[in-house]
Chain A
Amino acid sequence: MEADDEIYANGGDGPSRNRPIISGEQLDIEAYAGLYTGRTKITRLLFISDHCDNPPMQLEALRMAYDEIKKGENTQLFREVVQKIDGRLGPNYAMDSAWCETVDRRAEQRKERLENELNAYRTNLIKESIRMGYNDFGDFYYAHGALGDAFKSYVRTRDYCTTSKHIIHMCMSAILVSIEMGQFTHVTSYVSKAEQTPEALDPITIAKLRCAAGLAHLEAKKYKLAARKFLEVAPELGNSYTEVIAPQDVATYGGLCALASFERTELKNKVIDNLNFRNFLELVPEVRELIHDFYSSHYASCLDYLGNLKANLLLDIHLHDHVETLYDQIRNKALIQYTHPFVSVDLNMMANAFKTSVAGLEKELEALITDNQIQARIDSHNKILYARHADQRNATFQRVLQTGSEFDRDVRAMLLRANLIKHEYNLRASRKL
């Protein structure tokens, strides 16, 4: 697709099937949930129901969560969701104790069988079988929500892995469970373990690993590194990692983190001119537009898009804690970039461009100047911002004189102390004398 900067109106141009799912509009929960599979679908639905303040949306999310859980074998989550529903969805969505009991009983039986099999394999010392036995255990625990045990089981297979494929499989399982548990340090270590295998990895696995690494960095608030990882994800990822992340998320996370942390050149090279990433950005046209607006200094519309997206972004489990910080950073970057090329800036015009009042703008600029991110001074009387470039010569003289006097002070104090120590002076000695 050529560089096409046409702005899509909210809601998109194409048939409703292609409407972007992450947009400024109220989140379409069904479509959103359709992006994911497996446990993450349920966790995300529950997160949405916890954090949105719109009761119909809440109930919709809970209903979908209930249906999804019933397809699986996690009775713990089932009990949780029933409690949250609290009977509001009618008798079809109430506690089904019979189902719970059946599932639990089946689980017990399966567990026993797995244990017996595993013991048999262990006595026979067949590596491959033992490995598969532990894997099955891991899958079993994962399905039943015992994430800690699942993690341990997957990690146990490490000793019985013979080929790189086995190791990759173990790493991917460990990563999946760690992300679900929220323990991102494990994620980072297993990603690097997987990347160190001697065999070349296929592009989809590489893309998956990059997504996982990006998520770990995002969690650790290392936005620049997260952006870099997300931007390197190949478009081959497609829908192959939906148990963790959707391609729309790659675009959103990558785009926002890049905007908040990259310099202009890096932004242009790695985001705007990045053909691979463009495929992802097509899925979230609002994010694409806001990045382009920022780069071309249309700050008002950029901040508008951001404002619209905020409500939906707050419902995303990975981004929720970082939305405020990222938004602040993006806004500050916009302010700095606006003032950068000018010798003097009329604060009234700038306030218009940023859709804020002059007084509020003054306060924001004051904070940035104090933080030394903008070199300027505010003429509050005439409401003008003047760029101020430090006088190097004077500053040098000042520094020199100050260094000189510090040296003077320190050396004199040092000589004095040396003299005291040299005569082995301390209070005890003088008392003895």
Chain B
Amino acid sequence: MNIVESVVTQIQGLSSSATDIAALHTYLKQADESLHTESARLLPFLDHLDPSIHSLGYLYILDACTSGPISEEQAKTLVLIFARFITSCVAEQIRLASDKFVSVCKRFKDQVMLLKAPMQGVAAMLSAVRKLQSSSAHLTTLHPEFLQLCLLSKSYKTGLSVLEDDIFEVDQPRDLFLYCYYGGMMCIGQKRFQKALELLHNVVTAPMSSINAIAVEAYKKYILVSLIHQGQFSTSLPKYASSAAQRNLKNFCQPYIELANSYSTGKIAELETYVQTSREKFESDNNLGLVKQVLSSMYKRNIQRLTQTYLTLSLQDIANTVQLNSPKEAEMHVLQMIQDGEIYATINQKDGMVRFLEDPEQYKTCEMIKHIDSSIQRMMELSKKLTTMDELMSCDPLYLAKAGRERQRFDFDDFDTVPQKFNI
């Protein structure tokens, strides 16, 4: 009992300045085990502490008192305590014990899922993520947890706000896989297919020594999204994808690859029959909705191809070429595409004719100039980043050692001169 009280007093006393916090941290690390033994009693002590001032201490005690199994009744109160802590804690303090923070947040997430109320956890997790990352380009273990909650609670907009950040640093590769996979799913839900394609592409081409289930599922969705968005799919992965992925991913996604082949023939009837026959496989992967979107995208692609060859075309001809059942259906499709901005056209109902127009964008407006300018700025920043990274790499001793070893094999002119001391 004394231990707990003394811990509380220490926390209250040593939470004001940075040096105090460091000392508190060492003290807490030592006291951690004893705290865990007293876990059942710890809950009321939390009221003595203010999470916005005593974040580090609060964290330790919270971690200790929730380390055991928790019933649903307790979960309801605990969830509120967790949420309050996370939203009000101080970022610098909790970063000192990031592992603990991560496990606390994970437990929070489990509670929220247990109560089947993922919505409650979204806001708190968002602030947790923001506090844990050292910069907006840093991917933490909490990112996928957060995205999972967003997916389950259908709060896509919040999720998307996090996805907008570019990621350059990763703690654990598994986090990246899950993050990109969930992110891809969210973008698909919001019909942002380009970003979904990017995220899924990252999963599929990430370095991996052996393939994992996440990569397989991501590849399946990748095939479907690239059919919807680009109308084509090439089975060869780029060279920088890991050899494990290049060799093995295809074997697990056979029905999808056949779907892509059937799509490339351009015949709707074939595609439909194929989808019908393989319906169960798609359903068991929860991809049936996407597959249906692939089907409708085929009509769109065929109509788009018509805009390249015709200036005007009758609705009857469109229906015939694209293999729709009637001019009315063709009209509906064309109307939908005009509204979505996928083609530029006008429908003349009197004659039953569609007139295809050119893209009205003239690239002369102020907005366009601003857009181009900001793109240029972005490219320049990226280039700078790239050059910095290259320079850092060339100074890295490990790299130089390897390059020095390999030197004998190559011509003298093949790469930059490496200092003598790195020669074997």
Contact with B along A357-399 (1 / 0, CB 8 A): 0000000011001100000011111100010000101100100
A378 and B312 alpha carbons, distance in the complex (Å): 7
- State whether B174 touches A427 (Cβ < 8 A): yes
CB distance from A108 to the nearest CB of B (A): 59
- State whether A416 touches B207 (Cβ < 8 A): no
- State whether B312 touches A420 (Cβ < 8 A): no
- State whether A394 touches B311 (Cβ < 8 A): no
Q: Which A residue sits closest to B172, measured CB to CB?
A: A430
A404 and B167 alpha carbons, distance in the complex (Å): 19
* Residue A112, interface by CB 8 Å: no
- State whether A407 touches B359 (Cβ < 8 A): no
* B207 contact set on A, CB distance < 8 A: 417, 420-421, 425-426
Contact with B along A217-249 (1 / 0, CB 8 A): 000000000000000000000000000000000
Q: Is the interface of A mostly helix, strand, loop or mixed?
A: helix
Q: Which A residue sits closest to B363, measured CB to CB?
A: A397
* Residue B77, interface by CB 8 Å: no
Of A404, A411, A423, the residue contacting B375 (CB under 8 A) is A404
Of B169, B174, B353, B376, the residue contacting A419 (CB under 8 A) is B169
- State whether B212 touches A427 (Cβ < 8 A): yes
* Residue A349, interface by CB 8 Å: no
- State whether A408 touches B174 (Cβ < 8 A): no
Query: Do A416 and B202 contact each other (CB < 8 Å), given the known contacts A370-B308, A380-B317, A393-B363?
Result: yes
- State whether A380 touches B379 (Cβ < 8 A): no
A417 and B312 alpha carbons, distance in the complex (Å): 48
| Number of interchain pairs (Cβ within 8 Å) | 112
* Residue A428, interface by CB 8 Å: yes
* B309 contact set on A, CB distance < 8 A: 365-366, 369-370, 377-378
* Residue A413, interface by CB 8 Å: yes
- State whether B173 touches A425 (Cβ < 8 A): yes
Query: Do A381 and B351 contact each other (CB < 8 Å), given the known contacts A408-B378, A417-B240?
Result: yes
* Residue B153, interface by CB 8 Å: no
Q: Which A residue sits closest to B169, measured CB to CB?
A: A419
CB distance from B226 to the nearest CB of A (A): 14
Interface residues of A in 75-127 (CB under 8 A from B): none
* Residue A412, interface by CB 8 Å: yes
A391 and B358 alpha carbons, distance in the complex (Å): 10
* B167 contact set on A, CB distance < 8 A: 416
Query: Do A370 and B305 contact each other (CB < 8 Å), given the known contacts A401-B372, A404-B375, A419-B168?
Result: yes
Query: Do A427 and B173 contact each other (CB < 8 Å), given the known contacts A394-B363, A409-B198, A416-B167?
Result: yes
* Residue A9, interface by CB 8 Å: no
CB distance from B284 to the nearest CB of A (A): 25
- State whether A426 touches B209 (Cβ < 8 A): yes
Interface residues of B in 334-363 (CB under 8 A from A): 351, 353, 356, 358-359, 361-363
Of A393, A397, A408, the residue contacting B379 (CB under 8 A) is A408
* Residue B310, interface by CB 8 Å: yes
Interface residues of B in 192-223 (CB under 8 A from A): 198, 201-202, 205-210, 212
CB distance from B230 to the nearest CB of A (A): 12
CB distance from A41 to the nearest CB of B (A): 47
Of B206, B210, B362, the residue contacting A394 (CB under 8 A) is B362
- State whether A430 touches B386 (Cβ < 8 A): no
* Residue A415, interface by CB 8 Å: yes
* A365 contact set on B, CB distance < 8 A: 309
Q: What are some 5 contacts across the A-B interface (CB < 8 A)?
A: A377-B309, A378-B313, A394-B363, A408-B382, A430-B172
- Give the 9 A-B residue pairs with the shortest CB-CB distance, closest first: A381-B312, A397-B363, A379-B311, A426-B209, A369-B309, A377-B311, A425-B173, A380-B313, A404-B375
Binding site for A on B (CB under 8 A): 166-170, 172-174, 176, 198, 201-202, 205-210, 212, 240, 305, 308-314, 317, 351, 353, 356, 358-359, 361-363, 371-372, 375-376, 378-379, 382-383, 385-386, 389
Binding site for B on A (CB under 8 A): 365-366, 369-370, 377-382, 386, 391, 393-394, 397, 400-401, 404-405, 407-409, 411-421, 423, 425-428, 430
Other contacts beyond A378-B313, A400-B372: 4, CB < 8 A: A366-B310, A370-B308, A404-B379, A430-B173
